[in-house]
A = this chain, B = another copy of it.
Amino acid sequence: MTEEKANRAPTIIDIAREAGVSKSAVSRALLGQGRISEEARSRILDAAQRLGYVKNAMAQGLVAQRTHTLGVLVRDAVRPFYGQLHAALQGRAIEGGYRVVTATGVRDFALAEERRALQTLLSLRVEGLVVCSGLLPARDITPFVERVPTVVAGRPEPHPAINSVYCDEEDGAEQLVDHLVSLGHRRVAVLLVPEALSFTQYARTAAMVNGLRERGVDTVVTELADGREAPADAVPALLADREITAIMCPQDDAMVSVLERLRRAGVRVPDDMSVTGFDGIGPLTTPLLGLTTLRQPLDEVGRRAIDLLLELREDRSMPTRHIPLRGALVAGTTTAPPPPHPARR
């Protein structure tokens, strides 16, 4: 009799046979609940060990109507933002006694794939859902919020039926503005992201503009176009305006491309020009770059999102909550007081 190459996974019936008991007994022993003699229990556990038993989550979930699993929908695993958030969610979920399964989109067919990923998670009958995607619109989520507790994490989601936890973009923008103002900048450029491109980035850059104007600072607004090089492409025009002493970018990624362009133009940062970013997470936080930015509290966002989800499980009639969390200003080496004679550069 030759060994099968691809052997099927053993079931509790296999264990029962091996241990000479009924499958009910096996179930009780494995679950560690219900009455079993100590002797039977150990025979069963032995057999399970010997056979390399791994429980079938499908069968178990089907009958128990519980999966002890939380689902996380992540937009794009490549971005450090989502990676950090994902890890934070994962960590807290484990602490709460839940397992986590994640599904992601792929860059090219973004929206369609995210819908599919959502279906995957729902079809697994996760007991709670965290959506981390600036892309997936509320109307794709709402049909299921009554069915499974759902929290949107990492983006403000104003929809009255959807809970959300996110970085307070307005506050963050103001912190950066205050930083520049206190350094003495009087004419500042903001790279404004159109609402259609990214609501989050629109919100924060719009808040930068408002904050600056409220504080009486001359504000030059440059609306960004789509495309990878877009932020940096705005630089030449800004340099032409000799009174501008600082540039506020919507994101650290964009900021880096702006810094690169400034360097190529021979503009020293921060001596000739101050530059700010937004996010403050991932490899770009290295002191080698020393970005002045606003660090999003992603660890806290993740924690609070899970906590909210678990509360929601307890009390399904809880009113919707929208939880903004404060970020922290990171004063790096890309900002300084404006040069005494900006026109000289």
Contact = CB atoms under 8 A, between A and B. Distances in A.
Interface of A: 5-9, 52, 54-62, 67, 69, 76-80, 82-84, 86-87, 90-91, 94, 99-104, 106-108, 113, 116, 119-120, 122-125, 143-144, 146-147, 252-253, 256-257, 259-260, 263, 282-284, 286-289, 316-317
A122 B54 contact: yes
Given A5-B146, A7-B147, A55-B123, 9 more contacts: A5-B316, A54-B122, A56-B62, A57-B58, A57-B124, A57-B125, A87-B107, A101-B102, A256-B286
A176 to B, nearest CB: 20
How many chain copies?
2
Contacts of A116: 99
A79 B78 CA distance: 9
B317 A288 contact: no
Contact of A123 (B57, B83, B106): B57
A107 to B, nearest CB: 7
Given A61-B58, A80-B283, A91-B106, A5 B124 contact: no
Contact of A56 (B7, B86, B125, B286): B125
Contact of A256 (B76, B144, B257, B288): B288
